[in-house]
Structure formats: C-alpha cells, structure tokens
C-alpha cells in the first residue's frame, strides 16, 4: 500500500499564507464591527472576509488541520447569509465572528510551535451554527444597475449596494471592458496586470468574464468586464489601464423594488493570468545571506581604497583606479539600497494588529476608545519592526489604562466619554523612523509619580520620563490584566535604546501625553562617522550625531567638582557638558582638551564627546556583540574599516546616559 504524501513541507507555506489571511480577516472584521455600530451595511468587508476565510479553510484542509476547517466553515455560512442581506450584521454576530477568528489564530500558533493542535471549540461551533438558523437582519431592497442582463445576474445585492454606497459618497460607477489578445499580452497587458494597475486608482467591485464569438477583435472568444468605483477622471483610468477610451463607460444606478437572491459567494470570477507573478515570497534568511555577502563587499572596498591610497602615496598614478573605485562605491550604494528595500516592510503592516489590541482593551475597560493610525508610506527593516512592536503594544496599553480617565472624569471635564488614542509614524531624512503614541487623557501626574518613587518633583518632561521608566515603578495600587507590574515602560525604554534609538515624552496635564520613539530604519549597514581617540579608531552612526564642533580653549571651562573627564563648552550662548571620550573609555594618556566634539541629544538634552580627530563619513557593516560575557550597553557592535582589525561601534546616547548619571551622583 502506497504511503500518503508528506505534508510537512507544505506547513511552512501554509503558515505564511495563514498569517496574511488572518491579518486581512481581522482588518475586515473590525470594519464590519464599526459599520454595525453605526447601523450601516458593509458589503465589501463581508465579501473580503468571506474570501479570506474561504481560502484559509482550503489551505487548512490541504495540510490536514481540521479544527481550522471546522471553524472557518461555520463562519463562512454566516457570511454567506450576511451577503444576501446586503452586508449587514448585528453586533452580537460580529462578536461571535471575533471569537471564531481568535480560535483560528490560536490553532495556527499551535501548528507553528510544532505542538498539538487543539480540537475546534464545541460550544463555539454550536453558537455559530445557531446563528445560521435565524435571520441576521431584515432583507434590504436590491439595487438596479444599468448593465446587460448576464452581468446583472452575476451581481449580488451586496455588490449592488456597494456600488450605490460609492455613488452616494461622490464616486462614479464605471464599466471597463478588457479583451485579451496576443498583441496586448506581448506588452505585458493581461487581466492580472490590469487588475493591479486599475486597482491603484479605482475600487474594483467585481470582474466578470464573458464569452464572445471568436473574431479578429476577440481572438480568444473571451472578455472581462471590470465594474469600478472611482474619483479620478477618465483620462487617469485610461492611462492606468493602457486601454482605449471607448473601453470605459459610466453606469447608471437606481433603486427599484427588491430583486431576486444573489448567487452564492463561491461563484467568483476565475483568476486568469497570461503572465508571471508580480509578487514572490522570499525567506528572510535569504535576504540576510544577501546582506552578509554585501557586508563582505563593503569591507573589501575599504581594503581596496586603502591599498589605492598607499600606491598613490608611493608615487604611483592611481587616477584611473580612483575613478573605478568611485564607480564601484556608487554601485555598492545602489546594491545596498536595493537589498534594504527588499527587507523593508510598510509600518502600516506593523500596526495592523493595533486596532484588534485596542478593541480588547476597550472591552475590558468598558469604555469606547477611538483609534487613529497614520503611518503614511513609512517603511522600516523587518528585523527592526519585530524588535520594536512589543514596545508599541506596551505604549498602547498604557495609553488606555493609564492615560485615558474613566467615563465620569471625562464627562466632568467636558470631554467625550470614550477618548482617543493616536498612533503616527513617518520617516525622517537622517535614516530614522519617528513613531508616536498619544492619548487625549489627563496626562501624567508628576507629583504622584514622584511621591510614589520617593524622589523630588521632576522639573522637565525628560526627568519625568527617566522616572517613569525606572524598573518596578508603577502608579497602580493593584495589578490588573493590563498594567500594574511596573515593567511596561522599562521594556519600552530598553527596546528603543537597544536599537540605538531614543524615547521622548511630551506631557500635557489635563490634555494627554505623547510618547515618541526615534529608531533607525535598519541596523546592518549604516552611514557612520569614523574618528580617532588616543590613536584608536571608533565609529558612531550618523543618525546619532547632531553636529560636529571645533573645540577652542576660550569657550571651555572646567567647573569645580566635575572630575577630569568633564568640561563645559559654550554652544550658541548655552553651556553644554563636554565629556572626554578617552576618559569615558578608560584609554591611557594625559587629560588634554580634545580637538573636536560630537554632539548628541538624549531625552532632549544635548551632550558632547571630545575626540582627537574625525576621519570622515562612510558606510559600515555593524556586527552585534551577542556574547553576554563581552556585551556592553554602550557598544552597539563592531565593524571593519578595511585594515583587518575590529573597530567598535559606539552607542553615544547610552554613553551619555551613563556619564550623565554618574556626574549627577557626584554633585554635592
């Protein structure tokens, strides 16, 4: 008897696909919940949720995960009924679907951890089945769309309502016809590429394939009709599609008496493609390997540049070699940018689970909370995103549990009862991502925090931030499921500083708080300043250095009681602490006034580090120091400047924090 196929090789692919469909399902289910709260239909979200669950069920069946199949099947049946009800669901049914989606995610996680997958919850399956036996909402009147009868037969009431809602919002309903041909296929125009191009400027409601008599115009005897909603002019749609103007026409829509029941959701248009895939999945390990190869090329370029400089110093004519080196450097920068782009993920994807997190917090608190997420087109390295996401979770939890005051207190201040949490992100020009989490609550009571910690009242937001990020400090008298252990803000600070970033606080008493995370977009190959201290080379990331100063003795004073390693330097009329980097790193040598200084800013406060010589700016490969026996907080890693010797990459902000704390402790 032949053995069955080994499905283990398919599990990894299933897990990747499952995460994508779960993320899409959660997004659409949250949209359904919001529409249900307003008493409005949401036909598009219903259909998109059905598609994700239908695909997920099929994939789970292929790898033999029957509990996921069972839950997804029952949820599908509810959504099929909802589609016939023009996309309307009651809040209790939406909540039940959330439970189903949570059960599926838990079983996907169990499969990923290679543990046993729990059976489908019997009570959940019974509750889902019971919902199918009753009407979700009253049937709504169908929408009449001025189309040919064969196209109308393919439209469900939900899709007709989707068109009507779009027109009511000021969009235009349009019909675009595409007829495949060899000539169009040769220039890369097929139904898959057309959907992708048109989808960027219009909302595609449905794609309907139609059979045509074979002719010179339709050699394949096939056409596709795209039903669209769009706010852009016809010219923009024609330009995006690459079709002729006559392929596009407007659809007239009216609301007649109720029409017949629509066909089942499974009767979807076929996904026909005459060309290759526009997106492929690549394991992160392969990208890491490509980055490792690039790192080796960067080091080799340093060595080659040093060798060319040596030849030039001995009188050789290296002008042509210098031109080749310059071109090679440009090509390496382009290659680095291409690999980094492949590693980058949209910040909006990183924040996709925040609405679901906030939903759970809002329900636990018994208080509605609005969420605004604005990430624009910002991107960051996937590895950085995975390391910073736990900090985002803690900040959102704190915003709800600590920042937003209870309903009664908000009413007393004339605020709306719920409250708002806002998450924003944008990329800065210096290779940093700035991500903020803010709330419109009461702000942080600095006096209460100081009393709890037994310290003087903080004078600035920076001092208050240093206080609330102390390990074990919490303003809660009792521990809840959300907070009270005094670990959240410390975890946030350690996550940000572990990436070489900075955490900032803006506290507005009576109005709310804003926490801002400034983190590097990537950690592997970075632009850095190289410099010398006591004839030893060091580097520091460019995004950590605010400016480079020339040190003159007339602008420097050594205050009493500060020790040999600290001076004060006058910068634009303000005193700036100037630390001797040689003393801070315990390098032997006399205590001399440094020639230059690197200025950094931590928690809004500037500080400068004196160095002997700045060598220049270049790309370096940062290799982290993972061994706990040699790992030092102020050392971000090592690099190679082409001389074959390891060079330390300094975390100047962490060093400023240590020296600043030591200096404060030494003051009378």
Kindly state whether residues 368 and 459 are assigned to the same domain.
yes
Residues 394 and 488 sit within 8 Å (Cβ to Cβ): yes
Q: Which of 254, 270, 298 is the last residue of a domain?
A: 254
Residues 172 and 233 sit within 8 Å (Cβ to Cβ): no
Question: Is 634 among the domain residues?
Answer: yes
Boundaries of domain holding 543: 525-666
Q: How many whole angstroms separate alpha carbon 444 and alpha carbon 466?
A: 13
Q: For residue 265, what pLDDT band results from cuts at 50, 70 and 90?
A: very low
Residues 521 and 380 sit within 8 Å (Cβ to Cβ): yes
What does the pLDDT look like over 125-138, one tens digit per residue?
A: 888 888 775 555 44
Residues 203 and 230 sit within 8 Å (Cβ to Cβ): yes
Residues 156 and 205 sit within 8 Å (Cβ to Cβ): no
Number of structural domains, the chain? 5
Spatial CA neighbour of 75 closest among 95, 85, 62, 61: 95
The pLDDT score that the predictor gives to residue 308 is 87
Please compute Rg for the chain using Cα positions: 31
Q: Which of 132, 163, 179 is the last residue of a domain?
A: 132
> Which is more confident, 327 or 641?
327
Q: For residue 607, what pLDDT band results from cuts at 50, 70 and 90?
A: confident
Kindly state whether residues 581 and 435 are assigned to the same domain.
no
Looking up residue 39, the CATH number of its domain turns out to be: 1.20.120.160
Average pLDDT, the chain: 79
Query: First-to-last CA distance in the chain?
Result: 86
Spatial CA neighbour of 161 closest among 122, 128, 206: 206
Question: Is 264 among the domain residues?
Answer: no
4 class by beta-carbon count within 10 Å (0-12 exposed, 13-18 middle, 19+ buried): exposed
Judged by DSSP in three states, 157 sits in helix
Q: How many residues does the chain have?
A: 668
Extract the runs of DSSP E, i.e. beta strands, from 509-656: 512-520, 525-533, 536-541, 547-550, 556-557, 566-571, 574-580, 596-602, 605-611, 613-621, 635-640, 646-650
Question: Is 265 among the domain residues?
Answer: no
pTM: 0.62
Looking up residue 202, the CATH number of its domain turns out to be: 3.30.70
What does the pLDDT look like over 218-239, one tens digit per residue?
A: 888 888 888 888 888 888 888 8
Does residue 266 register a pLDDT over 70? no
Kindly state whether residues 118 and 199 are assigned to the same domain.
no
The pLDDT score that the predictor gives to residue 262 is 39
Looking up residue 482, the CATH number of its domain turns out to be: 3.30.565.10
Mean pLDDT (whole number) for 358-363: 81
């Amino acid at each position: 008897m032949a053995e069955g196929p080994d499905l283990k090789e398919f599990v990894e692919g299933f897990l990747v696909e499952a995460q994508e469909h779960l993320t899409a399902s959660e997004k659409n289910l949250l949209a359904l919940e919001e529409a249900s709260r307003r008493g409005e239909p949401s036909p598009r979200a219903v259909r998109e949720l059905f598609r994700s669950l239908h695909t997920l069920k099929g994939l789970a069946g292929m790898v033999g995960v029957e509990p996921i199949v069972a839950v997804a099947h029952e949820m599908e049946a509810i959504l099929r009924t909802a589609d016939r009800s023009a996309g309307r669901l009651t809040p209790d049914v939406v909540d039940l679907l959330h439970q189903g989606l949570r059960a599926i995610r838990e079983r996907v996680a169990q499969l990923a951890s290679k543990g046993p997958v729990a059976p489908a919850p019997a009570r959940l399956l019974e509750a889902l089945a019971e919902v199918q036996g009753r009407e979700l909402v009253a049937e709504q009147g169908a929408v009449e769309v001025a189309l040919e009868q064969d196209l109308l037969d393919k439209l469900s009431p939900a899709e007709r309502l989707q068109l009507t809602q779009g027109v009511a919002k000021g969009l235009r309903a349009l019909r675009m016809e595409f007829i495949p041909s060899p000539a169009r296929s040769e220039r890369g125009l097929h139904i898959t590429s057309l959907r992708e191009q048109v989808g960027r400027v219009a909302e595609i409601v449905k794609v309907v394939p139609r059979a045509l008599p074979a002719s010179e115009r339709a050699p394949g005897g096939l056409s596709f009709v795209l039903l669209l909603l769009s706010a852009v002019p016809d010219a923009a749609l024609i330009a995006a599609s690459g079709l002729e103007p006559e392929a596009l026409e407007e659809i007239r829509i009216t609301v007649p008496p109720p029409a017949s029941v629509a066909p089942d959701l499974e009767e979807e248009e076929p996904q026909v493609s005459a060309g290759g895939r526009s997106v492929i999945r690549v394991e992160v390990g392969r990208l890491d390997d490509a980055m490792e190869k690039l790192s080796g090329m960067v080091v080799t370029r340093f060595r080659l540049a040093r060798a060319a400089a040596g030849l030039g110093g001995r009188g050789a004519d290296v002008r042509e070699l210098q031109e080749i080196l310059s071109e090679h450097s440009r090509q390496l920068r382009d290659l680095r940018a291409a690999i980094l782009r492949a590693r980058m993920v949209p910040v909006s994807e990183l924040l996709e689970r925040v609405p679901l997190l906030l939903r759970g917090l809002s329900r636990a608190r018994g208080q509605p909370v609005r969420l605004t997420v604005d990430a624009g087109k910002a991107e960051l390295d996937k590895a950085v995103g995975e390391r910073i996401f736990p900090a985002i979770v803690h900040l959102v939890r704190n915003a709800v549990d600590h920042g937003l005051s209870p309903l009664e207190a908000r009413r007393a201040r004339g605020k709306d009862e719920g409250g708002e949490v806002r998450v924003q992100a944008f990329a800065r020009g210096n290779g940093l991502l700035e991500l903020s989490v803010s709330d419109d609550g009461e702000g942080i009571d600095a006096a209460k925090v100081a009393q709890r910690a037994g310290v003087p009242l903080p004078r600035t937001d920076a001092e208050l931030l240093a206080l609330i990020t102390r390990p074990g400090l919490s303003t809660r008298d009792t521990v809840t499921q959300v907070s009270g252990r005094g670990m959240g803000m410390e975890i946030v600070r350690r996550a940000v500083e572990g990436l070489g970033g900075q955490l900032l606080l803006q506290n507005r008493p009576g109005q709310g708080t804003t926490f801002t995370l400034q983190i590097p977009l990537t950690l592997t190959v970075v632009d850095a300043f190289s410099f010398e201290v006591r004839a030893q080379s060091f580097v520091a990331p460019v995004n950590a250095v605010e400016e480079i100063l020339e040190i003159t003795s007339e602008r420097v004073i050594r205050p009493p009681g500060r020790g040999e390693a600290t001076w004060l330097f006058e910068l634009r009329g303000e005193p700036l602490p100037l630390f001797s980097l040689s003393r801070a790193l315990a390098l032997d040598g006399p205590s001399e006034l440094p020639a230059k200084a690197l200025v950094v800013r931590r928690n809004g406060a500037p500080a400068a580090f004196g160095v002997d010589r700045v060598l220049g700016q270049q790309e370096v490969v940062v290799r982290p120091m993972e061994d706990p026996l040699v790992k030092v907080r102020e050392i971000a890693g090592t690099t190679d400047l082409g001389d074959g010797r390891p060079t330390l990459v300094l975390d100047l902000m962490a060093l400023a924090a240590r020296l600043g704390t030591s200096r404060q402790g030494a003051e009378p």
